[in-house]
Amino acid sequence: MSASTRHLRPRPPRAPLPQGGPDMADGMSANVGPAHMQPQGEGEAGIDPDARLQQIRETFIDDALRGMSVLAVCILALSFWRNVFGPEYLRVPAALALVATSTAILLGSHLRRRHLSYQAKASALLLVLFMSGTGGLLSFGQAAPTGNYFAIGFFVAAILFSRSVVFMMIAGVVLLMSAVGMLMITGRHSVGVDLNAVSQEPLAWANVVLTMALSAGAIATAVSAFTRSLHSLLGDVHRQQREIKAQRDQIHHLATHDNLTGLPVMRLATERSHRAMAHARESGRKIAFMFLDLDGFKAVNDQHGHDAGDRVLREVALRLRSAVRAADTAARIGGDEFVVVLHELTHAQAAGDVADKILRTLALPIDYNGHTLQVGASIGIAIFPDHAEDLDELRRVADKAMYAVKASGKNRYQFAPSPELPH
């Protein structure tokens, strides 16, 4: 059934105006099914925060492994040179073995990063960092730059693991350093190198500078990638929020506007009328409630078909919009029935002037596939607060005035009976 055939006469008595929210069925074209109500983008996958966080962590750990692998290779070369060609007091085979082991772990993890789990790669990186820190602590005591390794390890752990895990790592390192300190204080362990002699060796300083530069560069690169990934995630979240808002706006529009004409439905017109009446009470002005029923519409449907009827309804909606102000409301409430609510009127006759304008514009012919279609309108007008002070009564007397026009010749307007207004 076409939208143009709904609610044609004979009409049942009108029910009181609804007081609730928008009704998705009111005033909607009968040829609109549930598929028309589906918002764009429905069914698309949303952002999975756990998956995106895992992806960000994977990117961070891969970048960190790559940078630390370069650092390990450079330090291994320096350590090998120091142990083979350096002075005797710089030759520490245990340190060379530790660097070689660390390099093997890092390179292996980096080269097989696509086959290893996130936890395995993270564990390998942290193992190397804490091994390096522990080795330096045992070899050089307080003079060792172990704080760098431990600090980097804590930073990486804070990104990759929960806070409780990081605190457990910190507690473990504190116990380790306390134990090494007690061993040295009690004389059970001593530093086996001359720190003054080491500080005068260019190779030692090259090792310190290279370690600081490359480790800082590796972590800075990883953190930069981590920041970019977070920025991308926030951008995706913001985009999805905009899409959700657009979908909600679309659903609200479908629920409160007629699908065929785009005019508000009765529920939205009711809400606006209540607001207009409240404002009129404060300002001392008037509002007009018009019931408009098309004349000759059934003949258009019978002679030219429902598509022609729909064409007429769309054109009537356009002409109603052009006849009223932007602040006023024109709504479709049935097949060929419309409501117009005029706000902030200084005198009642202003509603009559608008009704005249509506009648003139609706009387203009409508072209449809080479045929000239013509309709008119019967309009009943009720004024707030002259005729009624509640919306249901205002609607009732406007409806009654409209039927009086129908009975007395159609195609004109009439105010509801009132001692203050002439008939």
Residue 9 banded pLDDT, cuts 50, 70, 90: very low
Residue 142 banded pLDDT, cuts 50, 70, 90: low
Q: Give the integer Cα–Cα distance in Å for 233 and 55.
A: 10
Q: Give the integer Cα–Cα distance in Å for 120 and 124.
A: 6
* Least confident segment among 15-24, 64-73, 162-171: 15-24
Q: Give the integer Cα–Cα distance in Å for 418 and 355.
A: 18
Q: Is 205 left (phi over 0), alpha (psi -120 to 50) or beta?
A: alpha
Q: Give the integer Cα–Cα distance in Å for 339 and 337.
A: 7
How does DSSP assign 252-267, residue by residue? HHHHHB-TTT--B-HH
Residue 207 banded pLDDT, cuts 50, 70, 90: low
What is the rounded average pLDDT of the residues 145-152?
74
Q: How many CB atoms lie within 10 A of CB 31?
A: 14
Instruction: Say if CB 144 and CB 180 are below 8 A apart.
Output: no
What is the rounded average pLDDT of the residues 272-301?
93
Q: Is 43 left (phi over 0), alpha (psi -120 to 50) or beta?
A: left
Q: Give the integer Cα–Cα distance in Å for 133 and 188.
A: 20
Give 234-258 pLDDT, tens digit per residue: 777 788 888 888 888 888 888 888 9
**Bridge partner list, 119:** none
What is the rounded average pLDDT of the residues 20-35?
38
Instruction: Say if CB 304 and CB 371 are below 8 A apart.
Output: yes
Question: What pLDDT sits at residue 84?
Answer: 81
Question: What pLDDT sits at residue 5?
Answer: 44
Q: Give the integer Cα–Cα distance in Å for 365 and 148.
A: 86
- Please choose, from the candidates 268, 338, 217, 278, the residue with its C-alpha nearest in 3D space to the C-alpha of residue 18: 268
**Bridge partner list, 257:** 264
What is the C-alpha end-to-end distance of the chain, expressed in Å?
39
What is the rounded average pLDDT of the residues 17-45?
40
How does DSSP assign 301-347, residue by residue? HHHH-HHHHHHHHHHHHHHHHHHS-TTSEEEE-SSSEEEEEEEEESS
Burial of 423 from C-beta contacts in 10 A (0-12 / 13-18 / 19+): exposed
Residue 203 banded pLDDT, cuts 50, 70, 90: low
- The structure tokens 């730059």 sit at 145
- The structure tokens 């012919």 sit at 365
Residue 7 banded pLDDT, cuts 50, 70, 90: very low
Instruction: Say if CB 337 and CB 293 are below 8 A apart.
Output: yes
* Least confident segment among 24-33, 131-140, 250-259: 24-33
% of the chain at pLDDT higher than 70: 78
Q: Give the integer Cα–Cα distance in Å for 412 and 168.
A: 86
- Please choose, from the candidates 343, 364, 218, 217, the residue with its C-alpha nearest in 3D space to the C-alpha of residue 290: 343
Whole-number mean pLDDT of the chain? Answer: 80
What is the rounded average pLDDT of the residues 15-24?
42
Q: Give the integer Cα–Cα distance in Å for 142 and 131.
A: 16
Q: Give the integer Cα–Cα distance in Å for 25 and 380.
A: 25
- Please choose, from the candidates 344, 417, 333, 331, the residue with its C-alpha nearest in 3D space to the C-alpha of residue 380: 417
Q: How many CB atoms lie within 10 A of CB 118?
A: 16
Residue 327 has pLDDT above 80, yes or no: yes
Q: Give the integer Cα–Cα distance in Å for 272 and 412.
A: 26
- Please choose, from the candidates 130, 119, 128, the residue with its C-alpha nearest in 3D space to the C-alpha of residue 162: 119
Peptide bond preceding 385: is omega within 30 degrees of 0, i.e. cis? yes
Mark whether 258 is an active-site residue. Answer: no
Give 338-394 pLDDT, tens digit per residue: 999 999 999 999 999 999 999 999 999 999 988 999 999 999 999 999 999 899 999
Question: What pLDDT sits at residue 209?
Answer: 75
What tokens does 19 get? 């007081």
Residue 313 has pLDDT above 80, yes or no: yes
Question: What pLDDT sits at residue 133?
Answer: 77
What is the rounded average pLDDT of the residues 31-36?
36
Question: What pLDDT sits at residue 198?
Answer: 63
Residue 369 is classified by DSSP as T
Q: Give the integer Cα–Cα distance in Å for 21 and 344.
A: 24
- The structure tokens 């350590």 sit at 79
User: Between β-strands 371-373 and 376-384, what pairing exists: parallel, antiparallel or unpaired?
Assistant: unpaired
Question: What pLDDT sits at residue 149?
Answer: 76
Residue 27 has pLDDT above 50, yes or no: no
Residue 312 banded pLDDT, cuts 50, 70, 90: very high
Which of 336, 356, 386, 392 is an active site residue?
336
Instruction: Say if CB 405 and CB 380 are below 8 A apart.
Output: yes
Contacts of 392 (CB under 8 A, 6+ apart): 16, 17
Question: What pLDDT sits at residue 71?
Answer: 78
What is the rounded average pLDDT of the residues 403-412?
92
Position with higher pLDDT, 36 vs 231: 231
Give 57-97 pLDDT, tens digit per residue: 788 788 888 877 887 788 788 778 777 877 776 677 777 78
Position with higher pLDDT, 52 vs 363: 363
Residue 419 banded pLDDT, cuts 50, 70, 90: very low
